[in-house]
Structure formats: C-alpha cells, structure tokens
Amino acid sequence: MINIIKINKLIRNILIVVVIIALLLAFSSSYTSFSIDNLAFVVAIGIDKSSNNDSLKVSFQIAKPSAISENGSSQDSPAIINTVEANSINSAINLMNSYIGKELNLSHCKLIVISELVAKDGISDKIYTLINNIQIRPSTNVVISKADAKYYIENSKPSLETLPSKYYQIFPNSSKYTGYTVNATIGDFFNGLTCESCEPYAILGGIVSGNNQEYVSKDLLNSGDIKSNETSISGNRGTENIGLAVFKYDKLIGELNAIETVCFSIIKNQINGFLITITDPKDNEKYLDLYLYHDRSTKTKVDLINGSPFITVNCDFNGRIYSMKNDVDYLNNEVLEEISFAASKYMEVQMENYLYKTSKIYKSDIDGFGKSVSSNFLTIDKLEKFNWEQNYENSFFKVNANVNIKSGFLLTDT
Amino acid sequence: MIEYFLYLENGFVNTFIIGIGNIYSFSGIIFLYLLPPLLKKPEHFKKISIISVIIFSIYIFLTVCVILFMFSFFVSKDEILPLYAAARYIEIGSFFVRLESIFLLIWILTFACYLSIVVNFSMLIFKKITNIKNVKVLAYPFSILMLAISLIPKTYADVKYYEGNIYQYIILGFAYVFCILLLIFANFKKLKEGKS
C-alpha cells in the first residue's frame, strides 16, 4: 500500500516536471519565429510607371524604429524611402527583401499611392494583388497622385505629427468636416471593381502649388472649384489631398473638384458638416459663408421611366452663418428665410451639376445608385439585360435640397 | 433594404425548384433524429426542434446578409472565408482594430463545440451498433479519423468540389430522403404492432 502511494507520488512529480518543461518550451521565443527586429514595416507604397513601360517602379516608405524610439535623435527622419523597378508588386517586394536585409511587412501600410499615368492604364491587377495579400488591411487608403508617387511620398512630410503613418491615418478624417477629400480605402475600391452596380473612386493627391505663386489667381480663391495641384495653399508639407479620382472599372477617367467631392460625400452620407460660400442675397458683390450639417440622412430613389433611370435625391440640412458683416439682423426670420432659400438653390444646382457630370461626362456611377435599381427587376437576367453600367448615362436627376439656416454661432445681430 | 433585393433572383424555377437543393445547408437537421432518447423531457421535443430550426435559420440569414450587403451585390468573386473577410473591416475608433483575431478565436471555439457534439453522436451510434459498454475511449480514434479524412483534399479546389458535388447529395439523400423514409416505415411498423 505504501509502495503504491510512493509510486503515485513519483508519477505525479514526473508529470509536473514534464508539464513545466512543455510550458517553458511553448512560451520561450523560438529560433525560427520572426521577432520585430527581423521585420521592416512599410507605411506607404508608391506605384509609378518606369521608363521601360512594361515594368513598374515601386517605392516603399519604411518606418525607422531608431528614429522614433526614446534613444533616437529628433533630427533623424522617421522613415526611409527605397525604390525598385520590377514586373510586379510581389517581385518588387521580393527584391527589396533581399536588399534591405529585413523582411518587409505590410501590416502597418496605411497608404497606397498610384500615379496618374499608371491609373489611366488600368490598375485592377494591382488592386487584386494587394487585396490578395493577407497583410494589407482593407482600410488602407488609396491615393491617385497627379505627380509621381515617389515624389508624393517624399513630400508628404507631416508638420504636426512625428510619424508619417500617424499622418496617413489622420488626414482622411478631414473628409468628415470639410468634405474636400474622402476616406477612400482599398476595400472600397475592390468592392467598386467587383460590383456591377457601382464604380470605384480614390483620393486625389497632388503637389502644393501655392509655394511658387507670387500672385494668386482669382479662380483659386473660390474654394469650391479647386482640386489638388490647383490650390493657393503654401506650407511646409509639399502635398495636398483635395478632390476625388473617378474610375470607370479600373481606369482613371476624371477628377472631381472640392464642391463636387462634397456632393459625393453628401449622397454617400459620409460627411458630418461642410462649409459653403454663397452670394449674399442682399448684395450680389458680397459672399456669405454657411456651415451646413445633415438634419437627416440623404435619401435616394431610383425609378425607371420609359426605360431610363430617374434618380431622386432628397437631402435636408441645418446651417449656421459663419461670416458676419456690419449692420445685419440675423434674428429676422425674413432674412434667415432668404439665406436658407439661396443656400437650398445653391446646393440643388451644385448637386445636379455633379450628378450630371458623373452621368453624362464620366458615365461612372461612383455613388452606387445601381444598387437601388434592383427592386425594379424580378430576375438577374432582366437586370443584366438592362445593363446599368451602360444605362447610367441616360439617367435624369431631381435634387430636393432643404436648407434651414438657424442663426450665427455667437452673434445674431450686428 | 428592400430596394436592394431582386425578388426572384434567377427566376422561379431556378430559385424554388432547382434551388431546393440548397436546403443541404440545413444539415444540422440530422441531429434532430438522434436527440429524442437524450432529452430529459421528450414531450418537449416538438417545441425544441421548431425553436432550434428557427434560431439556425436566423443565423444563416444574418450571415448571408452580412456578406451580401458588405460586399458587391452580386458576389462574383469567390473569397475564402467570406465572414473572416468581413471581420477584417471591423474598426471601432482607433483602438479596437484588427478584430478578426477575436473572430477566429470565437470561430475555433464554436468549431470545437460542434466537433465535440459530432464525436459524441458518433460514439452513441457506434455503441448501439456494437453493444460496447464503455465508448468514451472511442473519442480519440474517432477524432483522429476525422482529422485524417479532413487531410485528404490537397487543395481548396478539392474541398469546393467535394462540398458542391458529394457532400450536398449525401445530406439530401441521407437526411431528407433516407431518414424521412425510415421514420415513415417505423411509424407503419408501430401502427401494425399496435393493431396486432
């Protein structure tokens, strides 16, 4: 009996030692595993056309851990940019892996910049390749650069953040309160490519041109008509992101300016508030700045009339008056109603211009109205015969914009 | 939401007649045939089976809705694990990101529960067939057998082939034809014995 108890204790002790050894092996770092020291984290990828038209010039902006650590010098650039020419993105990654000495990791890639020249030739194979990569996040932003992608990345030096990855993560947020850019991700782009009822879009990026201008043309002062490469901005950072790149399937076919991008965001319900500048109803020589925000979500409806799509867009806004002048009574209901009426008409005109531009000129349904047309058909065959992609250019639009201006912010009567 | 739907998709015949083969996704109905002897209150079996079918239908409906509404309306590109692909889009602010790992953890736990139930029922059936007293030890060989069979397909294309061309017809033939016929014949036999 005592022997049995001793044997049981022995077995128990052996088991305990075996379990401890197993746990030690499991939680110790293995010589085959990759630690953070073996990886190079790419924060941005740039794709350009090479001088040899058959290949690509791929630029990688790689974060430098030593520059952003506590021991790093504040003078060190937090990222380095390396460029390689290759037949494909994966070949470029492979070549760069052998050059750098660490394995490139795309898990923290926040931005994919594609130059305008490459985008005009079609980028479906690049997008499919990137989406197939398990490291690339669907929330990675896509920018179509009017300059070289490498030049865009080199000049995207953030002035208010230390890390470029932080800047790339933050800048699309301005779409919520200005509407001048959009949060266009590679996931949305892939959806637009595969969807038969919508088209893809991307952020339009460009070079700040205000630095070189001594005299700013009057056209650039109307902030609604501007887009990247055409603004009066001058600053430390050499790049700007204003406007939207419009695609037809995978080819870049056009660009939208600031106010058209605002209209796009309104229809997509991706904007919280935005500023418009309208002619003062009391004085045609003066302008009035109004800040509008959604009262309720924009509603769209697609009907078929004589085989042509008739699209109705209903949007409601509340607004506040930003700019103030001397001797104005904004407590007077008549004054507020006049301004509201002028703002409603302005929004209707801008939105109809935008919609007809995407329909008649670009023939590209980036707003995804095609998804709403399905209920007009019983079967897929009939919907495919209708061919929304071709029929979108025959669309007619009716925009009902209702703007209700309440007052100024702190002043109501001057 | 209604305006996004095509009422008859591929037509009446393809949806309701040829499409009835898609009922194989309700393969869990096989467990309903095996449940009655295991229930503490067999008189509630009808209520249990109706509620379980409704819950299962809701989950399937929600899964299909997530995939259809998140991605393009006509899902023309076949993604591996579409729910995992949908989970990669989840971002709550800037802190709760990359939540697909939690999705995978929950999925693995769910899968482990499902496999446990399958092994349990396999052992019960084996016990009835062979009249073995203690079947608990059979859990290990059954699990290893399932692992070995799951390693037979070499590629994802093979898996899709087996799912579409073999598994579908096994479920339709076994769960919906054979088992129902068995129940009908068993009822006839019971009636006959009752009369005699």
Q: What is the mean pLDDT of residues A284-288?
A: 83
Nearest to B8 among A138, A139, A379 (CB): A379
- Is the CB of A375 less than 8 angstroms away from the CB of B10? no
| Domain C-terminal end among A201, A232, A258 | A258
In a domain? residue A347: yes
Q: Are residues A321 and A247 in the same domain?
A: no
Residue A168 counted as domain residue:
yes
**Which of these three, A210, A226, A258, is where a domain ends?**
A258
CA distance A242 to A182: 9
Average pLDDT for chain A: 86
For residue A312, list its beta bridge partners.
A301, A398
Is B135 or A401 the better-scoring residue by pLDDT?
A401
A251 lies in the same domain as A105? yes
Residue A1: per-residue pLDDT: 67
Contacts of B77 in chain A (CB under 8 A): 194
Flag if A195 and B91 touch (Cβ within 8 Å). no
Quote the minimal CA–CA distance from A220 to chain B in Å.
35
B76 touching A (Cβ < 8 Å): yes
pLDDT at B6: 63
A374–B91 CB contact, under 8 Å: no
Q: Where do runs of H (alpha helix) occur along A28-178? A: 65-68, 89-100, 116-121, 124-132, 149-155, 164-170
Per-residue b or e along A82-121, where b marks 16 or more CB atoms closer than 10 Å to that residue's CB: bbbebeebeebbeebeeeeeeebbbebbbbbbbbbebbee
Stretch B38-49: mean pLDDT, rounded? 88
In the predicted structure, residue B75 carries a pLDDT above the cut 60: no
Which residue in B7, B77, B89 is closest to A194 by CB distance?
B77
Residue A234 has pLDDT above 80, yes or no: no
A239 and A313 share one domain: no
Structure confidence at residue B74 (pLDDT): 45
Of A343-347, A375-379, A387-391, the poorest mean pLDDT is in A375-379
Judge: B72–A377 Cβ closer than 8 Å, yes or no: no
Helix (H, G, I), strand (E, B) or coil at B87: helix
Q: Do both A247 and A283 map to the same domain?
A: no
Q: How far is B90 from chain A (nearest CA, A)?
A: 9
- A375 interfacial to chain B (CB closer than 8 Å): yes
Distance from CA of B131 to the nearest CA of A (A): 34
**Percent of chain B surpassing pLDDT 90:** 18
In a domain? residue A100? yes
Minimum mean pLDDT range among A126-140, A143-157, A221-235, B51-65 = A221-235
Same domain for A280 and A254? no
Whether A29 is in a domain gets the answer no
Identify which of A336-345, B35-44, B95-104, B165-174 has the greatest average pLDDT.
Answer: A336-345
Judge whether A143 lies within some domain. yes
B77 touching A (Cβ < 8 Å): yes
The verdict on A251 and A279 lying in the same domain is no
Residues A92 and A188 in one domain: yes
| Closest chain A CA to residue B9 | A379
If you average pLDDT over residues A148-156, what whole number do you get? 91
Interface test mutation site (partner B, options A107, A130, A194, max chain B beta carbons within 10 A): A194
Q: Of A258, A286, A302, at which residue does a domain stop?
A: A258
Establish if A28 belongs to a structural domain. Answer: no
The mean pLDDT of A207-221, rounded to a whole number, is 58
ipTM of the complex: 0.77
Question: Of all residues in chain A, what percent carry a pLDDT higher than 90?
Answer: 47
CA A379 to chain B, closest CA, distance in angstroms equals: 4
Q: Is the pTM of this model over 0.90?
A: no
Q: In what order do the strands lie in the sheet with A396-408?
A: A273-280, A283-305, A308-321, A396-408
Tell me, yes or no, if A371 comes closer than 8 A to chain B by beta carbon. yes
Find the residue in A nearest to B74 (Cα): A195
Cβ-Cβ contacts under 8 Å, B88 against chain A: 137-138
Per-residue pLDDT of A131-145, as tens digits, reads: 989 899 999 999 999
Q: Residue A113's pLDDT is what?
A: 96
- Per cent of chain B over pLDDT 70 is 90
User: Both A209 and A281 in a single domain?
Assistant: no
CATH number at residue A391: 3.30.300.210
- Residues 93-122, chain B: which have Cβ within 8 Å of A? 94, 97-98
Q: What is the pLDDT of residues A25-72, one digit of tens each?
A: 877 766 566 677 888 999 999 999 988 777 899 999 998 876 555 554
Minimum-distance CB partner of A196 among B9, B74, B89: B74
Facing residues of A320 across strands? A291, A407
DSSP 8-class letter at B37: G
| pLDDT over threshold 90, residue A252 | yes
A253/A276 same-domain check: no
Q: Which chain A residues contact residue B97 at CB under 8 A? A: 139
Count CB pairs under 8 A between chains A and B. Answer: 60
- Average pLDDT over chain B, rounded to an integer: 83
Same domain for A122 and A166, yes or no, is yes
| A78 and A131 share one domain | yes
Query: Using alpha carbons only, what angle is made at residue A198 by residues A197 and A200, rounded to the nearest 5 degrees?
Result: 155
The pLDDT value recorded for residue A125 is 93
Q: What 8-state DSSP symbol labels residue B96? A: B
- In single-letter form, the type of residue at position A10 comes to L
Q: Is B91 on the interface with A (CB under 8 A)?
A: yes
Shared-domain flag, residues A171 and A248: yes
Domain range enclosing A336: 272-414
Question: How far is the alpha carbon of A276 from chain B, nearest alpha carbon, in Å?
Answer: 28
Nearest CA to A398 out of A318, A300, A294 is that of: A300
3-state SS class at A84 = strand
Contact A196 B3 (CB under 8 A): no
**CB atoms B8 and A197 under 8 Å:** no
Contact in structure between B184 and B178 (CB atoms under 8 Å): no
pLDDT at B25: 82
Counted domains in chain A: 2
Q: Which of A131, A189, A300, A379 best tests the B interface by mutation, with the highest count of B CBs <10 A?
A: A379
Quick check: A134 contacting B, CB < 8 Å? no
Pairing mode, strands A103-105 and A39-49: parallel
Highest mean pLDDT among A210-219, A318-327, A393-402, B159-168: A393-402
CB contact under 8 A, B72 and A137: no
The percent of residues in chain A predicted with pLDDT above 70, rounded, is: 89
Token digits of residue A409:
């912010």
Residue A212's pLDDT band, with cuts at 50, 70 and 90, is low
Q: Cα(A24)–Cα(A66) distance, rounded to whole angstroms? A: 31
Is A21 inside any structural domain? no
Better-predicted residue by pLDDT, B75 or B178: B178
Interchain CB distance below 8 Å, A374 and B4: yes
Using the Cβ of B158 and the Cβ atoms of chain A, whether some distance falls under 8 Å is answered with no
How large is the average pLDDT for residues A363-379?
Answer: 86
Are the beta carbons of A375 and B2 separated by less than 8 Å? yes
Q: Which of A139, A301, A374 sits opposite B6 (nearest CB)?
A: A374
Chain A from 149 to 188: CB within 8 A of any B CB: 169, 187
Sign of CA dihedral A143, A148, A154, A160: negative
pLDDT at B4: 57
Residue A396, domain member (yes or no): yes
B79 touches chain A (CB under 8 A): no
Q: Which of A45-54, A193-202, B74-83, B146-155 has the lowest mean pLDDT?
A: B74-83
A84-143: pLDDT as tens digits: 999 999 999 999 999 988 899 999 999 999 999 999 999 999 999 999 898 999 999 999
Lowest model confidence (mean pLDDT) among A227-231, A290-294, A399-403: A227-231
